Structure 1
Amino acid sequence: MLTRLHYRINASLERILPERRLFLKSDNDTRFIRLRPMTQAAALAGGTLLVSWTIMATSIVLMDSISAGTARDQTQRQQALYESRLNALSADRDRRADEAVRAQERFNLALAEVSKMQTALLATEDRRKELEKGIDVIQDTLLRTIRERDTARAEAERVTLALAEQTGSARTDGSRTADAVTTLEELSVTLAATARQRDDMALAVLAAKEETETVLQEKAELEARNDAIFARLEEAVTVSMEPLDKMFRAAGLSTDSLLKRVRSGYSGQGGPLTLSTKGGPLSPEEARANEILNGLDRMNLYRLAATKAPFAMPVKSAFRYTSGFGGRSDPYGRGNRRHEGIDMAGASGTPIYATADGTVIEAGWANGYGRVIKIRHEFGIQTVYGHLSRIRVDEGQRVSRGDRIGDMGNTGRSTGTHLHYEVRVDGSPVNPMTFIKAAKDVF
């Protein structure tokens, strides 16, 4: 039955693929191989499948290459946009810091001018009070002198009348009359001088009042300028502080404890700059100035903290993300495993940079990681850089953010050239993209 079926199939295929013979000739003999229609059909089908597989594999490779090139171009554009935005934000931050410093200098000058004007105003007020007191004394003296003059005139008239009654003439005692006249003339001169002195003091009081009004007007203008300066300073501090505060909160860091630890690390003599009134109560302007100075101090602490937390990118050249944080399929086919970092694929030898200030605690070979660098930072944070082709730092070395620490490679348990980057907080792994995204709108 099978032989008959085989014969029928060969007979059907022979119309398309007639039987062929392949002769093999040697020195002593000649042989041939018979290629039946079914054999030719099987060979033709196998060749067709091989060509089809080759075409499909080539198409897949070309599509992957095109997609990889497109992703790389997109990453380069995003990197360029990120760097330009970083430069613009840095320039704006520096400009606002310079403006805050200049405004603080103008504020100090304004405070000095206010102090001088207040001193002059107090001196003018004291002088005015003294002049008013002097005028009161002069007026009392003038009134007393007028009363004494009137009393003397009345006494002179009484004596004159008494003499006239006794002697029949008011000129009997000439010496007394002359003395009375002399006394009256002296009193008149004294009264005239006192009146002139009173008029001079009245003019001095009017001048002091005008000077006081001028000083008060200048003080009001200066207070208005100071209020404008305060408003600009408060706005600059608020605008500069808000993105920094948002960045640390987005990274899951407590800003209060963070600033406390930074301040304790810079625990030299001094502290936040404040205005003092030698034990007296603070004026509204001084309290407002202290709030601005405290804000500037907090912003400076934020700046110090930003260099000590991993908010920078470890790779600045073109790369693409190949694995994220969390669960994933093991690249060696061993089921699902937890991935405690992110993978950034790039060219071999791509520079790797420290993402924050810190101390290198490990620089060598580790199982799985290959050549690896571990850096300890402030606030209980640690970063890990694995699968490197070259290590450029030593254990115990201090590094700053942006220092080149190694080159990208394919060492350890790796399927291709890439950087395995981890961030650990108090020993527990966290998603590094949290820090990278938090700093996206700041740096």
Structure 2
Amino acid sequence: MKAPGQSAVFGKRKEPHTVIIAHGDVIRHFTVRPWVAALAGSVLSAAAIGYLLATSYLVLRDDLIGAAAARQARMQQAYEDRISSLRAQVDRITSRQLLDQQVMENKVSELLERQTQLSQRHGRIGPILERARSMGKDASPPVPSDKPDLRATLDAPDALAYAAAATTAPSPFALWSPRTGSANDSSAADHADRLFVAINQSLRAIESEQLARITSLAQDASQTADTIAEALESAGLPVDSEYGKQGVGGPLIAAGSATMFDTRVKELDEALDHLDAMKKEARRFPLANPAPGQGVSSGFGVRRDPIIGMPAMHSGLDFRAPAGAPARATAPGTVVKAGWNGGYGRMVEIDHGSGFSTRYAHLSKVRVKVGQAMATGDIVGDVGSSGRSTGPHLHYEIRKDGDALDPVRFLKTGRKLGRYL
């Protein structure tokens, strides 16, 4: 038989653990069941593990907090660096935009200044060109013969947009896009630069054409004045050939555009003054033909007298003209004689100043009075055969201080200078 409390299940029976506590005469004992021991061990193990975990947490907490703080600081620093980079980029874009605006404003100001300068030049040279035109010079307005084609450049919308944006102080991102960055800005700037270059080329062409035209007019006027002076000198007529020629000198200093223009305008003005003086000088001499379109029947000098047939001095020219044909004054002056004068018959004498005078003889009718002012081409009388004459003709004389001169050289000089006067 089995004793009570014994277990025959699965082999040998395990005896329960008995704990005996003795205290004097008192003895206590209790039996510890296996499951109770397992539970107690589990509790003790859990407590030990919890204690170890708590201790580990307390030890590692400061390290975890420090690592989290460091990571947060790194993230904050990264954000601050990013913000600083964006701010620097904004500053660069703003600075570049302001610089482009300043450059554009300077270019626009330069163009406006040059346009104003050209307008002022046109106002200055306008009267001079009109004066040159009145003197028979080709003084058409200076226009460049090969102007740049601005249409393609002016049609560029980017260039116009860039110019308008740059001159109205846009925001830093007005011409910047996230996808293209500064490509639009650069393209617009290139178009604007081409626009200003084309306009500058056109203005420079106009300025150069102005200077070239003024210089050409001055040279032409000087050459014409010299031609008149040389013709008068070759005819033995007194002329101030030193007009406009002065002693000059000084250090060599490079001239700017404005100084060059002022100098050329002054040279043209002086050349026109010289030409005007030479024309006035030439017009006071009797260079015109007293009987235009009529031939010469007798020249100046010794000839056989038509009345007595002996050699005699002929002090003028005889023009073969029909009776009643007009005899015309050959230079401006004042009538000093008008009427019958011996062998001259009806005669008119005009004083031209500087000792020069002209005589128109054998007239059938005198049409002027003594003291009357005459202009070149005015009619002094009608051709006739009065006085010592064999038939209708015009006897024409040129005298200097009373001495007779050969009218042929005056007529030749007059024909030579006709297109200038």
TM-score by length of 2: 0.49
Which structure has greater helix proportion? 1
Higher Cα Rg, which structure: 2
TM-score by length of 1: 0.47
Structure with greater contact order relative to length (CA < 8 Å, sep ≥ 6) = 1
